């Protein structure tokens, strides 16, 4: 069906409130040919040129849809699906420049830079997608274990949408993940930006395949029950001349240069830019059937050094109001390191309206603590306990993301100090601590291999590490830990309140031992966690427990590790010896560099009871 502008749509676009702008702008099939539409303020002349005009330097002249509208449109009868094209803009200074389509849904493989008239359009939602959304919709009382993926470097011969759709979904289900998060799939000219310096926000990265193949990857994930999250980058864009940069010869989409990344910040003061960005978020949900977005660089947009940017604050509120109205099942996670309050509080309660926030403070504290020597840990004990001061202020995701294994930061394994075997012991404890701490989980691809070399965007992960015993045992350990987390309700049913967590001993800094309880909604269903972060063995460690019951060891960080699992008693009887503010206690052998999960043994009811 051909699109026809009306006055309300024009008004809403210029007010920053037209959130389906992708329906109007870009290249669309019409009964008479291909309809091209673009917003270019303050231009003398706008044309479209491409395969259909033999790239004539005059192109096909476009017309304003209404005086003062700044919106140019033309139907080109001989243009067709698959044609390459660009816009030719004559600036107010008389210079002619060529630009890719800001709303283009497909583009050439870099370094080529033309947009492509795409046949990609809305498709019916599959039954597999509906099932994923029904299971996940608005439901935060569930396990969430996210696997973060860079499409171009997961595995050799799997660096495309199509190849990944055949191998990645099954791998993730087998290894206990519930969601996959893809680093930006939007069109970017430089692979070294990892997708975060985007040229075309509506087109997928062409080096990995076409739009249909990307949607096929999403569908393949849905088919096995995985939720799909895309990284989304509204904070800045690439300065390449063919893109949004100085779109009419002067600043249109941009504000100032981003001080960290050499990109341009979006000019959120301009309402048409808000229409562009918020429509873009909706586009990926509507056209690619994704389940969520992780919003990159929220802190850099809020600019806390300037007492928070009120325009950015209102932008996020508008974004989240729109998304949850149209896509109530959505996951909208903020990558935010600021102390801005109520990031995950609904807008109608005065919040920013996200439903998850990355817990950057927890991540930094945990990684720093586990990189310390045993002597240093005594003074840094608070780094593993402080996160509980604010753990329920927001709905958190605990991330070990790509940012922690690049640029000389070392891999997770290599951050651990000590001898070769000690590094693996500590990494196992780190992950057990993560999985038993309140909050949803995210781990970057390849962490399961425990590599020593940092991630490289242009090479496959080091799957060869599985040829070595220590790496292979950690790989099996993380597989088992993931599956234990999925089935253990006490670790996720009450993630967002003190009802689900209780310190048993938070103050044993001398021994660097931490003891805490995780509790399911059914309060008799709980887990006791004890972590010994030092090398010293505790041959008779007394630990407080809430009831006089027999307790069973259900998980150990020493699983698969050097036979130490067999040295720990499998059951322990509580005695009426008060300890650590608990009425009862158990005694266990606690090896050095070990984390244990212990549960009370419950008698099963007979069917005829």
DSSP 454: P
Neighbouring C-beta atoms of residue 408, cutoff 10 Å: 5
Cα 475 from Cα 466, distance rounded (Å):
8
Nearest CA to 578 out of 552, 539, 601, 547 is that of: 547
The residue count of the chain comes to 609
Q: Residue 472, exposed/middle/buried by CB under 10 A (0-12, 13-18, 19+)?
A: middle
Residue of 296, 404, 448, 493 with catalytic role: 296
Residue with tokens 């960080």: 557
For residue 225, give Cα distances in angstroms to 179, 289, 293, 423, 446.
9, 14, 17, 34, 22
Strands 594-600 and 526-532: antiparallel
Count Cα neighbours of 359 within 13 Å in the Cβ-side half-sphere.
Answer: 27
Catalytic (active site) residue 493: no
Cα 135 from Cα 329, distance rounded (Å):
9
SS3 per-residue string spanning 495-508: CCCHHHEEEEEEEE
Residue of 70, 83, 219, 335 with catalytic role: 335
Cα 29 from Cα 208, distance rounded (Å):
25
Cα 107 from Cα 129, distance rounded (Å):
27
Nearest CA to 234 out of 192, 269, 268, 204 is that of: 268
3-class DSSP state for residue 43? strand
Omega before residue 295 within 30° of 0, cis: no
Cα 192 from Cα 196, distance rounded (Å):
9
Catalytic (active site) residue 296: yes
Helix segments in 327-379, DSSP class H: 360-370, 374-379
Neighbouring C-beta atoms of residue 535, cutoff 10 Å: 16
**Element (DSSP H or E) covering residue 518:** strand 513-519
Cα 551 from Cα 547, distance rounded (Å):
10
Cα 194 from Cα 196, distance rounded (Å):
6
Q: Across the chain, which distance is largest between two alpha carbons, in Å?
A: 90
Cα 81 from Cα 137, distance rounded (Å):
36
DSSP 200: E
**Active-site residue numbers?**
296, 335
């Amino acid at each position: 069906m051909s699109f026809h502008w009306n006055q309300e749509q024009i008004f809403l676009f210029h007010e920053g409130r037209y959130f389906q702008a992708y329906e109007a702008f870009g290249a669309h099939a019409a009964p008479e040919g291909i309809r091209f539409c673009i917003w270019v303020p303050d231009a003398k002349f706008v044309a479209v040129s491409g395969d259909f005009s033999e790239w004539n330097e005059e192109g096909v002249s476009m017309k304003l849809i209404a005086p003062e509208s700044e919106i140019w449109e033309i139907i080109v009868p001989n243009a067709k699906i698959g044609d390459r094209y660009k816009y030719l803009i004559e600036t107010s200074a008389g210079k002619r420049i060529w630009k890719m389509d800001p709303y283009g849904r497909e583009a050439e493989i870099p370094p080529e830079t033309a947009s492509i008239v795409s046949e990609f359009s809305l498709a019916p939602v599959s039954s597999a997608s509906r099932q994923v959304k029904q299971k996940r919709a608005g439901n935060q009382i569930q396990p969430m274990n996210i696997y973060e993926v860079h499409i171009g470097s997961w595995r050799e011969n799997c660096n495309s949408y199509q190849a990944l759709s055949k191998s990645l979904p099954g791998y993730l289900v087998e290894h206990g993940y519930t969601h996959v998060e893809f680093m930006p799939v939007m069109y970017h000219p430089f692979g070294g930006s990892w997708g975060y310096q985007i040229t075309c926000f509506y087109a997928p990265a062409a080096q990995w395949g076409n739009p249909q193949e990307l949607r096929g990857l999403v569908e393949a994930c849905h088919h096995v029950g995985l939720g799909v999250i895309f990284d989304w980058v509204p904070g800045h864009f690439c300065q390449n001349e063919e893109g949004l940069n100085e779109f009419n010869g002067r600043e249109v989409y941009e504000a100032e240069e981003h001080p960290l990344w050499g990109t341009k910040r979006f000019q959120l003061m301009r309402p048409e830019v808000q229409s562009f960005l918020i429509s873009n978020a909706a586009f990926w949900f509507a056209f690619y059937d994704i389940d969520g977005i992780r919003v990159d660089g929220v802190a850099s947009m809020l600019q806390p050094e300037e007492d928070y940017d009120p325009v950015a604050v209102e932008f996020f509120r508008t974004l989240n109001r729109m998304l949850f109205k149209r896509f109530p099942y959505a996951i909208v996670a903020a990558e935010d390191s600021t102390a801005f309050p109520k990031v995950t509080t609904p807008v109608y309660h005065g919040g920013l309206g996200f439903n998850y926030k990355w817990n950057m403070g927890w991540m930094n504290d945990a990684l720093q603590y586990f990189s310390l020597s045993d002597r240093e840990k005594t003074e840094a004990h608070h780094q593993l306990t402080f996160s509980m001061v604010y753990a329920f202020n927001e709905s958190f995701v605990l991330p070990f993301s790509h940012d922690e294994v690049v640029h000389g930061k070392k891999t997770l394994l290599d951050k651990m100090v000590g001898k070769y075997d000690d590094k693996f012991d500590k990494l196992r404890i780190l992950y057990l601590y993560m999985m038993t701490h309140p909050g949803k989980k995210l781990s970057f691809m390849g962490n399961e291999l425990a590599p020593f070399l940092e991630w490289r965007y242009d090479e496959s992960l080091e799957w060869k590490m599985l040829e070595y015993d220590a790496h292979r045992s950690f790989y099996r350990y993380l597989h088992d830990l993931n599956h234990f987390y999925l089935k253990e309700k006490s670790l996720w049913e009450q993630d967002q309140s003190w009802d689900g967590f209780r310190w048993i001993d938070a103050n044993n800094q001398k021994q660097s031992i931490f003891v805490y309880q995780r509790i399911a909604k059914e309060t008799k269903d709980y887990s006791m966690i004890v972590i010994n972060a030092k090398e010293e063995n505790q041959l008779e460690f007394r630990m407080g427990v809430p009831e006089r019951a027999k307790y069973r060891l259900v998980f150990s960080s020493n699983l698969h590790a050097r036979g130490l699992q067999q040295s720990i008693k499998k059951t322990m009887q509580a005695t009426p010896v008060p300890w650590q503010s608990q009425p009862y206690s158990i005694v266990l052998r606690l090896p050095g560099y070990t984390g244990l999960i212990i549960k009370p043994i419950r008698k099963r009811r007979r069917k005829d009871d």
